[in-house]
Structure 1
């Protein structure tokens, strides 16, 4: 009898190559590995990082960035950017604060009014971008300055200061705080409801991207908008909806911030738009659009939250954080480019 050959068959080799190619094709794989590495590093470097009190701190920090990073990732997959996303969080919180503390409007109505304004700004961003053909980077940068100026000037004009306080005395505050700002003690750690919102937003965005026609449209308009238009994809409507989604997420984060702390500053959210983009890119989104993952963006925000709080736990100089963010962005861009090129070469 002839001994069986121990060499792998061509069929099995092709299967392994196909599996490796499929794994490389998942945009969140790199972020997952990085998240595990960061968690392991800080669990060794500090004694409290993986404790329940420690986990409560860095999950809370990551949650609001995660909500925005997921929405920004959807927009980036669709081929656009929104540099007004950060300042929008403060804008919506200030609208609620002024309406309730100065004008006596019901707190729930004020929150809905803020949502309506956010959606209107998002729709305006999308329409201007699509109708003019100008880069969304420039259009939303203009929106950023408009909202930042309104936040400072209007708040100071109405209140005489650049912050809203006294929210706890507003009727209905406790009821709305239970939805957006409540927390629970678990094993000595404090965990906020924002973490549940983060998980819900990530799950919903993942379902939309992978299981719905809208998800197919998002990938199509980000990858090849002209080709998508030729096959009947409503490019304008899809991209406007993505800008509105980003604004809605900013409203949610604004409500979480307001009702968790009961106060809001006029400069709240300024500068954070770049962190959202970094989280999305670390999570696998390409700057050129057409590729990315909601789960990857959520993992990118988790990495940011762990790094931010891990530096604090380790008692290092927090000024290193920006250097780390820059390094994360550069590494993620290079890695994403390499992985996409490798996956393409293997196909």
Structure 2
């Protein structure tokens, strides 16, 4: 047993305050979010005004919901490349059922949710039963969903977009849940998706830090074999994480559909990488076993602020892609530096 100079077991030596701060996975994202906010607040006049805050919060909210779910899955050691296509698939399911076949809108929502849960479960079961990398399994699911969104929807309704959702019975009541907005000081508005985002982040944080399933998530991502040996339900935990990601895709799909009353077959395609970037910026390791829901939300906030800040600054929107690359590389390097510093600060 190793002891300190004072003869105390090093395993029970209290960590310094700085060490505890730097050990938090979201600290790097918090610093970056503050820097981005300050920059655009100074560089543009409208960024922090009441009308200006709503758009970047709304943009961050939908990415944040998905980023939190993807972060949980990444902490559990897996990836889901079908997350983006899932948002479009579930929205199209509701659109086709209601506008083309006249199904009650609440029933259509439930059917779409059942589809999402089933697909998420299939992804998880395939990964666990076959031993194939989740990257490959969910990439296959991505192409299947994309093909359904493009080809099958066109066969059924003759086009690749849903129109006329606002004419569906009970549309307004559903819109209050997923697509409504509220004013902030009478001079700007915020969509209800922001409240969904906050609620999902709070729930995920509570699960990770306060519950036994949260411990299981960290365990299966950090050391799956050891976790199984000590009785952690690895199969159930990982399948549950894939289902959670699919359900988040359903929620974002409903928010998108009822905010705009329309959806296209390419909705969500390509956004799966943004979700992963947000999670990595928030401190999640690609190897699993480390990360936080708050960090993923901060990553989404950074993206939302930058996405709208570029518009306010009147820059070429293509700079956003360059920023994503820099943000990803910077986050990986910063998170590595933070962890090394935390280990030396004990």
TM-score (norm 1): 0.95
User: What secondary structure sits across from 1:171 in the alignment?
Assistant: coil
- Structure 2 regions of 5+ residues with no counterpart? 1-7
**Whole-Å Cα distance in 1 between the matches of residues 255 and 15 of structure 2?**
45
- 1:323 equivalent to 2:325? Answer no
**What residue in structure 2 maps to residue 105 of structure 1?**
103
Q: Secondary structure at the match of 1:36?
A: helix
Question: What secondary structure does 2:177 align onto?
Answer: helix
Give the corresponding residue for 1:290. Answer: 289
Q: Which residue of 2 aligns with 1:7?
A: none
1:311 aligns with 2:272: no
**Comparing 302-311 and 337-346, the one that deviates more:** 337-346
- Check conservation: 2:121, 2:242, Cα contact below 8 A: yes
Corresponding position of 1:171: 169
Q: Does 1:155 align with 2:153?
A: yes
Alignment partner of 2:183: what SS? strand
Q: CA deviation at 1:342?
A: 2.8
Structure 1 segments of 4 or more deviating over 4 A? 14-17
CA shift, 1:81, in A, is: 0.3
Q: CA deviation at 1:15?
A: 8.6
RMSD: 1.5
> Is contact 2:18-2:345 (8 Å) kept?
no
Q: Secondary structure at the match of 2:42?
A: helix
CA distance in 2 between partners of 1:125 and 1:175 (Å): 33
Summarize deviations over 1:279-322 as a string: whole Å, max 9, x none: 00001101110000000100100000000000000000000100
Give 2:192's aligned residue.
Answer: 193
What does residue 119 of structure 2 align with? Answer: 121
CA distance in 2, matches of 1:243, 1:342: 33
1:328-343 correspondence runs (5 A): 328-343=327-342
Distance 2:315 2:212 in 1: 47
Measure the CA separation in 2 of the matches of 1:258 and 1:292. 30
Q: Secondary structure at the match of 2:16?
A: helix
Alpha carbons 2:121, 2:243 under 8 Å: kept: yes
Match for residue 299 of structure 1? 298
Distance 1:281 1:295 in 2: 12
- Mapped partners of 2:220, 2:241: distance in 1: 11
For 2:14 and 2:335, the matched residues in 1 are separated by 22
Q: Structure 2: how far apart are the matches of 1:337 and 1:47? A: 35
Q: CA deviation at 1:345?
A: 3.9
CA distance in 1, matches of 2:45, 2:271: 29
Partners of 2:90 and 2:343 lie apart in 1 by: 43
Query: Is 17-26 or 272-281 further displaced after alignment?
Result: 17-26
Q: TM-score, normalised by structure 2?
A: 0.95
Contact 2:28–2:338 (8 Å) recurs in 1 = no
In structure 2, which of residues 111, 131, 134 is the aligned counterpart of residue 133 of structure 1? Answer: 131
> Match for residue 213 of structure 2?
214
Residue of structure 2 equivalent to 1:233: 232
Offset at 1:113? 0.4
Instruction: State the Cα distance separating 1:184 from its structure 2 match.
Output: 1.4
Shift of 1:19: 1.5
Counterpart-to-counterpart distance in 1, 2:334 and 2:34: 17
Q: CA deviation at 1:217?
A: 0.2
Residue 5 (structure 1) aligns with: none
Which consecutive unaligned segments of at least 5 residues does structure 1 have? Answer: 1-10
The answer to whether residue 268 in structure 2 is matched with residue 269 in structure 1 is yes
Q: Does 1:33 align with 2:52?
A: no
1:6 matched to which residue of 2? Answer: none
Q: Give the CA deviation at 1:228.
A: 0.2
Match for residue 63 of structure 2 among 65, 73, 77: 65
| CA distance in structure 1 between the aligned counterparts of 2:264 and 2:131, rounded to whole angstroms | 34
1:64-88 CA distance string (max 9 Å, x none): 0000000000000000000000000
> Residue 17 of structure 1: CA displacement?
5.7
